[in-house]
Each structure stands twice: as structure tokens, then as C-alpha cells.
Amino acid sequence: MSFQAYLDAVEAKTGKTPRALVAEATELGFGADTKAGPILEWLKDAYGLGRGHGMAMVHVITKGPGIGSKHVGSTGSHRDESDTLWLDGKDAKPADWGA
């Protein structure tokens, strides 16, 4: 599963875009210096997210939408279209995203 697919699944599970969850996390005081544990606990308690989906959100909450380019343009199940994650919702993603 690609990193972006994890975020799209988070949106499907929570009904909120990743950007909305990042904003909520910021309001709760989570940010770049926050350890994963408290964020994972919040996401589990508030939205029922498991560790895998939670860790995807931990990344964007603490590090932003940029990811390494290791799997960008590669083949296989972990490939991503871009080294920047789309946070504004899967239905709002432009058709040429990552092209």
C-alpha cells in the first residue's frame, strides 16, 4: 500500500481529510516535537484508527506532507506518484496529481 493510499484510507475511516486532521491535531497541541504515542492514542480514541494508519498521520502531523523519493515512480505496491502527499481529500485530487 502506498503512503498516499494510507492517507486516503484514513479519510474513508474518519470522514475527515488528512489536512483537517492535521489542523485538529495542531489545535490539540500536537506538532513537530510530539512523540508518536500521544498522537496514536488520540487517533485511536477519537477515530478508531490502528497503528498503520495512525503512523501515516503521525508523519504528516510531525513532518508535513513531504516523503522520501525511494518509491516515487517505482513499481510495486508501495509506489507513490509524488514525493509530496495530497492532504486535501481523495475526491479533490486533480487528475494530473503527481504526473
Output the pLDDT for position 71: 65
| Residues with Cβ within 8 Å of residue 81, at least 6 apart in sequence | 2, 4, 72, 97, 98, 99
Cα dist. 35→31, 51, 58, 65, 72 in Å?
A: 9, 14, 9, 17, 27
Q: Length of the chain, please?
A: 99
Average per-residue pLDDT in the chain? 91
Say what the pTM is.
0.89
For 70-96, write each residue's pLDDT tens digit.
Answer: 767 777 777 788 889 999 999 998 887
What is the C-alpha to C-alpha distance for residues 45 and 49, in angstroms, rounded to an integer?
A: 8
pLDDT > 90? residue 67: no
* Per-residue b or e along 67-99, where b marks 16 or more CB atoms closer than 10 Å to that residue's CB: beeebbeeeeeeebbbbebbbeeeeeeeeeeee
Confidence class for position 44, pLDDT limits 50, 70, 90: very high
